[in-house]
Amino acid sequence: MESIIYNQKGEQSGKIALPKSVFGARWNADLVHQVVTSLLSSARRGTAHTKTRGEVSGGGKKPWKQKGTGRARHGSTRSPLWVGGGVTHGPRSDKNYARAVNSKMAARALASVLSQKLKDGEIVFVESLLFDAPKTARAKDTLTALAKAGFTHIVSKKQNAAFVGLAGSEPIAKKSFRNLGNISVGEWRNLNAAEVLRNKYLVFSEPEKAVKFFEEKLK
């Protein structure tokens, strides 16, 4: 297996051999679903919190007598039926949303989604992403050049168009891409199955290092 490497002008600059263990894995929908839902659940902050009828203020006295008023019987204004009362089955901040994912399962799921992305023609290998200074215009020029090379939706898609994977921290490149609303940028070594599926394209900078990293991680 091999793929084309592009430069920042959208021109073909070479080819790269791809290991089948990473980019030739079969699609496993059940495994991918299990891993992705676990990752998304673990990333949930869980800060939403509602009070039960035992935690809201007031309601110590019966609103009116049980019989003779013609109104429905009530024992407390803290009932969920009342405005200002407690909430039934609402979100609680003490709930733990973390879900453990077996490392081998996570690796197989990542290989599965990377292989599918490559099959769909949605992985772009770019030899480097170098900028003299943090300039959003320069980053946009690079994406426009890649769009002309055949990856059309990388500029036209309004949300989650691409994940730009860098080899390291590379602050200049990060600052150049971060103002583009349809682009997310980070280091490719931190990729997981959920992040891969969230974006239309994957752009890998320094592909030789990236492929070697994923081959060692997923073997």
Percent of the chain whose predicted confidence (pLDDT) is above 70: 100
The total of structural domains in the chain comes to 1
Residue 15 in any domain: the answer is yes
Checking if the pLDDT of 134 tops 90, the result is yes
Residue 196 in any domain: the answer is yes
At 59 the pLDDT is: 84
Q: Which residue range forms the structural domain that includes residue 10?
A: 2-27+105-218
Residue 117, domain CATH: 3.40.1370.10
Residue 59 in any domain: the answer is no
Mean pLDDT of 26-50: 95
| Residue closest to 119 by CA, chosen among 128, 127, 111 | 111
Residue 137 in any domain: the answer is yes
At 1 the pLDDT is: 86
At 46 the pLDDT is: 87
Look up residue 70 and give its two tokens. Answer: 């013609």
**Who contacts 177 (Cβ-Cβ below 8 Å, separation ≥6)?**
136, 139, 164, 183, 185
**Alpha helices (H) along 10-148:** 20-23, 29-42, 103-119, 136-148
Q: What is the pLDDT of residues 42-73, one digit of tens each?
A: 999 889 999 999 999 988 899 999 999 999 99
Residue 117 in any domain: the answer is yes
**Who contacts 3 (Cβ-Cβ below 8 Å, separation ≥6)?**
15, 16, 18, 118, 123, 125
Q: What is the pLDDT of residues 105-117, one digit of tens each?
A: 999 999 999 999 9
What pTM, to 2 d.p., does this model score?
0.83
Residue 89 in any domain: the answer is no
SS3 184: strand
At 160 the pLDDT is: 95
Residue 203 in any domain: the answer is yes
Residue 209 in any domain: the answer is yes
At 60 the pLDDT is: 86
